Structure 1
Amino acid sequence: MEFLTLLQSPHSFLWATLLGVVAHLTLFRHGEWDMSAPALIAAFFSTQLLLVGYGTAYAPSFKAVPFAVLHVSGLGICFLVGTFTSILIYRAFFHRLSRFPGPFWARLSTIYPTSLSFRSKLHLYEEVQALHRQYGDFVRLGPMELSIADPRAVQAVNSAQTPCTKGPWYNGMRPRVALQNSRDKQEHSQRRKVWDRGFGAKSLRDYEPRVVTYTTGLMTAIEAQKDKPMNVTDWFNFYSFDVMGDLAFGKSFDMVKNGVKHYFMNSLKTNMTMAGYFKHVVWTAPIMRSIPILNFEHKRFWKFVNSQVDERMQMKPDKPDVFSYLLEEYEKQEPKTAQNLMNLQADAYLIVVAGSDTTSSTLTTLFFHLATEPHVLAALRKQVDPLFESGEVDSVTLAKSKHLDAVINEALRLHPPVPSGVQRLTPPEGMMIGQTFVPGNTIVYIPFYTLFRDKRNFKRPEEFIPERWTTKSELAVDASVFVPFSYGPYSCIGKQLALMELRYVTAFIVHRYDFTLAQGEDPAKFTRDMTDGFTLACPPLHLVFTDRKTA
């Protein structure tokens, strides 16, 4: 009876508002709630329905259903007003990050960095760079987020000794958990040991014939389109996806062979674009995936991935691929759970994604600079040509060319594959980064684009100068910040494979062909149209390849 009296009381709206405040201070202010968004929405509306039903059944003044609906809806609105008012006041003035500088609106909601992505058309990395120039090395990018451009943060956040863990963004694929998404350090370490075998020196030697095969296929495609504009952005994507598809699913996507975009690549590019827009509002992902029709493409995509994994599990390849090692570990697990299988499927997806997007964008930006800066191409050829004159060229030979690696490094520096950095979470007790104490449970980003173009770290930072990695080391003031593949326990496990691909394609093309920007190609537009969809995505780049003129 007391509850009915309270429910019908004129003060019920005030109590609902106060309940919202209490819910924030005692519940929502603690822990992570992103993945619970669908459950919270369902609980809210279920409670509303229960109150309407209860009130109309037992409260005399609620006998009219429309009145009950209006009254309970009012209570719900008051609860939400109380909750969000408390959240906004706390974040604006009392939050543990309040002393850090940044735009006022960034204090209130992750909608702020999301709006920057929309406003800049996925140039968040440039927006973040501008914020650091305005506010300094520590910028409050969201209510619980800091972007940190202090060079000392690279080691503090990424080293083997760091107390940081992966942030809530890595929950985004759940219930699937790929290696990259494993947030538990011990679990990640155990799973990484299997991957280490798949990317060890012996395994890389086994994979090299595949890299050679697809490099040869790419050269054949260039020869077929010689003297005509060729969209190398697409073709470098075809190449990298074909290599990684072979290593993950035991078969190529045949894009280099056919010159046609595969469903997997198109769908992945769409997913990465959406990730770029919504990576700061993680709670939207589980909501979208739980809504029929809106989740159609998500289900279709994973149905395709799962079917490829099923086919690959039935294969017995002549030579091991990356998936072989993951499958071997999966087969040892007893009992085999549904979660184990989903993790295996997620890992297969990760093989392709992690090894394709980053490699293709680096190749595209590298050849953009070679095409627009002939002196860089000439200097590279002086180092590469002798390799071909000495006999058979392989990965060992290419790896000895310091200048080839310098050109690759410079492309990675100016156009890092993950320009805005990855998400990390400080330990509950907080930590020191440089001379600054960062409170516990703070989401931190190290913006690679900003760091790699910072005059404190690199002189003449906007210029493409490969020699800064060789004969002009004075131009690399603090090369320790240059970690395009990250480092430490979460470093990119496929780094050496990626370098093998980059070296092969770059060396073979520059030795065989001359190339220039196609007529009408605007260099400024190319750089302006790059996008940050978590990984860097390049717009179409049209080059014209011709037979190389002998000196």
Structure 2
Amino acid sequence: MVSTMHSVILALSLSVLVHRGLFIRGEWHLQAPAIFGGHVFAFLLLLVRQHLIHRPFGEVAVPAAAYLFGLLAGISVYRMYFHRLRAFPGPRLAALSKVWHVWKCRDSRGHHVLESWHQEYGSFVRTGPNEITIFHPAAYEVMDGPRNQNTRSDWYDLLYPRISSIFTREKAVHDARRKMWDQALSISSLKVYYERMAAQVRVLESIVADHGEKPLLVNDLMYWFAFDNMGDFGFGHDFGMLRERRPVDGAVYMRSAISLLGPFGPAIWIPRIAFAFIPGVWRVRHWFKMLEFSDSCMDERMKSGEGDGHLDLASTFIAHHKAAGANKLARQMLSGDTATMLVAGSDTTAPSLILLLYFLARYPEHAAKIQRELHGLDCADIRALSALPHLTATIHESMRLLPAVPTFSSRVVGPQGVTIDGTFIPGGTKICAPRYSIGRLEAAYEQPDNFIPERWYSRPELVKDKRAFAPFGVGRMSCVGKNLAMAQLRLVAAALLSKYHIRFARGERNGEAVERDLRDQLTANPGNLVLMFEKR
């Protein structure tokens, strides 16, 4: 009995030492698999020892339980009563652990979870042990404005050890990779990409025409279109999804893999553990299949060389890869940028297209205004389309109310901290800015829940604070492909509206399934949109 008590005291002391000496300092998400595996291994090793010396397992189990209890209790007490963010309002269990946030997002509706917390707790909500979610028009400017000293958060280690412009936390690496992307998306390159994009739109048009005026589920169609486009200007050829009218394996893997981030995105250490211990199980397997597909596309492009004469993003990536010496680090960067290109270049455009078509069907008066703008215009002329105020405003309003990336956006505040509207957030705190909620702030918009495209050109008084609208981000962290994305949205909308009236199919109840069933899985995954395209 005395021996057991002595072991329990030692275990409790060890738990305090581990918490205060290690876990309270710095970041541990990349070490999560080693920490989890190390604890399990140590416990199993002690059990084996007890078995070999013929001693009761209880002599190990009791101290082990005491250690875990002491560790968890110490962490809990510190986070709830002594942490520097303890005065911020928010769900108590979220302050205790991000596991609570994961649980609340188990059905991949994180945008509704955060909005409910915003309504209950206000503009600055503690949504994690060291995390503040900001529901304020200045959030994007504070995160990525010209005077910020913030860094990217732990989330950006998702692809580690792969590195890219997006998936890096080092500013110098980001700036270098960003220059490469800027080169790949130069003005002269964009002109070529727009022409090829217009060709893809014609294929999309042919599918709609072949379907006639029967109800058409457009979700898959838009994902096929976006993925084919990404293949075209990414690797010099599309994937044939529109022509074959079926997905390729890589697209299926990507959609399945990204769905992991619906529930688990708030706590990136959970996917990291899954990647380490169950890489062949469930959708985790598809995560690695997605990366394999991405790498295989780049490998094929590298083998083809420049002989095909196609301009594409990959050619720029490959040139930089070779210039860097084609070493292991350079390969990790090439792999990271390729995966980023596939996901960011297609999985944001597709939901944006679906949601834009949803709003055009729901508000036919705005579709009619765009149709009047299109009269006598070449619908493949990007420059002409970009000059149409109502078309652009309708796209912006769609993005405001239902953004393609509903909640994701996070940084770590610089060491000096930051003050927003009189609220000070200490340095080293993770801050988040959910687009879904910020796009509906009464502090930023008149009639924030109403679809009013005119607020973006003829009724500017309906926008109280322009800082709240940043669908592509701000500053050097903004989306490098925003011109391509806007071109795709304009081309598709113009092509379809010039020939058709877009209506909801019978029984679709004004398309209610689109918002009702929308999932927040890093990118938005809208519910089924079933439309009828009636010839004008």
> Counterpart of 2:99?
111
Q: TM-score, normalised by structure 2?
A: 0.95
> Counterpart of 1:60?
none
Q: 2-side partners of 1:147 and 1:72: how far apart?
A: 42
Q: Secondary structure at the match of 2:347?
A: helix
Which of 513, 519, 522 aligns to 1:531? It is 519
Q: 2-side partners of 1:84 and 1:424: how far apart?
A: 27
Q: Does 1:151 align with 2:146?
A: no
Q: Does 1:30 align with 2:20?
A: no
User: Could you list the runs of 5+ residues in structure 2 that have no partner in the other structure?
Assistant: none
Aligned positions, number:
530
How much does 1:440 deviate? 1.9
Which of 419, 436, 454 aligns to 1:467? It is 454
> Counterpart of 1:306?
295
Q: Does 1:378 align with 2:386?
A: no
Q: 2-side partners of 1:406 and 1:221: how far apart?
A: 27
Q: Secondary structure at the match of 1:181?
A: coil
Q: 1-side partners of 2:8 and 2:457: how far apart?
A: 70
Instruction: Write out aligned runs for 1:204-283 (5 A).
Output: 204-283=190-269
Q: Does 1:323 align with 2:314?
A: yes
> Counterpart of 1:3?
none
Note if contact 1:364-1:541 (Cα within 8 Å) is conserved in structure 2: yes
Q: Secondary structure at the match of 1:386?
A: coil
Q: 1-side partners of 2:483 and 2:10: how far apart?
A: 61
Q: 2-side partners of 1:113 and 1:47: how far apart?
A: 29
How much does 1:53 deviate? 6.5
Which of 339, 357, 370 aligns to 2:347? It is 357
Which of 148, 152, 165 aligns to 1:166? It is 152
Q: 2-side partners of 1:188 and 1:123: how far apart?
A: 30
Note if contact 1:234-1:540 (Cα within 8 Å) is conserved in structure 2: no
Q: 2-side partners of 1:534 and 1:297: how far apart?
A: 16
Q: Which amino acid aligns with 1:328?
A: A
How much does 1:52 deviate? 5.5
How much does 1:50 deviate? 5.0
How much does 1:481 deviate? 1.5
For structure 1, which segment, 419-428 or 195-204, has the greater mean C-alpha deviation from structure 2 after superposition?
Answer: 419-428
Larger radius of gyration: 1
Q: Which amino acid aligns with 2:433?
A: I
* Alignment CA distance shift 1:52-1:113 (3 Å): closer
How much does 1:126 deviate? 2.0
Note if contact 1:153-1:434 (Cα within 8 Å) is conserved in structure 2: no
Instruction: Write out aligned runs for 1:49-448 (5 A).
Output: 49-51=44-46, 63-65=53-55, 67=56, 69-118=57-106, 121-292=107-278, 293-294=280-281, 295-315=284-304, 316=306, 317-334=308-325, 336-388=326-378, 393-448=380-435
Q: 2-side partners of 1:420 and 1:410: how far apart?
A: 17
For structure 1, which segment, 96-105 or 311-320, has the greater mean C-alpha deviation from structure 2 after superposition?
Answer: 311-320
How much does 1:393 deviate? 4.0
Which of 495, 501, 504 aligns to 1:517? It is 504
Deviations 1:328-373 (A, max 9, x none): 1001012x32232132122112112112122111111111111122
Note if contact 1:24-1:83 (Cα within 8 Å) is conserved in structure 2: yes
Q: 1-side partners of 2:161 and 2:452: how far apart?
A: 45
Q: 1-side partners of 2:48 and 2:98: how far apart?
A: 36
Note if contact 2:256-2:286 (Cα within 8 Å) is conserved in structure 1: no
Q: Which amino acid aligns with 1:36?
A: Q
> Counterpart of 2:444?
457
Q: 2-side partners of 1:269 and 1:527: how far apart?
A: 19
How much does 1:505 deviate? 0.7
Q: Does 1:506 align with 2:501?
A: no
Q: 2-side partners of 1:53 and 1:219: how far apart?
A: 67
Q: Secondary structure at the match of 1:139?
A: strand
User: Could you list the runs of 5+ residues in structure 1 that have no partner in the other structure?
Assistant: 1-5, 58-62
For structure 1, which segment, 77-86 or 293-302, has the greater mean C-alpha deviation from structure 2 after superposition?
Answer: 293-302
* Alignment CA distance shift 1:53-1:276 (3 Å): closer
Note if contact 1:459-1:477 (Cα within 8 Å) is conserved in structure 2: yes
Q: 2-side partners of 1:528 and 1:47: how far apart?
A: 47
Q: Which amino acid aligns with 2:79?
A: R
Deviations 1:285-330 (A, max 9, x none): 1211122532543333322222221101112241321111111100
Note if contact 1:206-1:319 (Cα within 8 Å) is conserved in structure 2: no
Q: Secondary structure at the match of 2:32?
A: helix
Q: 2-side partners of 1:50 and 1:114: how far apart?
A: 31
Q: Which amino acid aligns with 1:191?
A: R
Q: TM-score, normalised by structure 1?
A: 0.92
RMSD: 1.9
Q: Which amino acid aligns with 1:303?
A: E
Q: Secondary structure at the match of 1:458?
A: coil
Q: 1-side partners of 2:286 and 2:178: how far apart?
A: 30
Q: Secondary structure at the match of 1:34?
A: coil
Note if contact 2:257-2:290 (Cα within 8 Å) is conserved in structure 1: no
Note if contact 1:384-1:404 (Cα within 8 Å) is conserved in structure 2: no
Note if contact 1:247-1:322 (Cα within 8 Å) is conserved in structure 2: yes
> Counterpart of 2:36?
41
Note if contact 1:232-1:364 (Cα within 8 Å) is conserved in structure 2: yes
Q: Which amino acid aligns with 1:323?
A: A
Note if contact 2:241-2:248 (Cα within 8 Å) is conserved in structure 1: yes
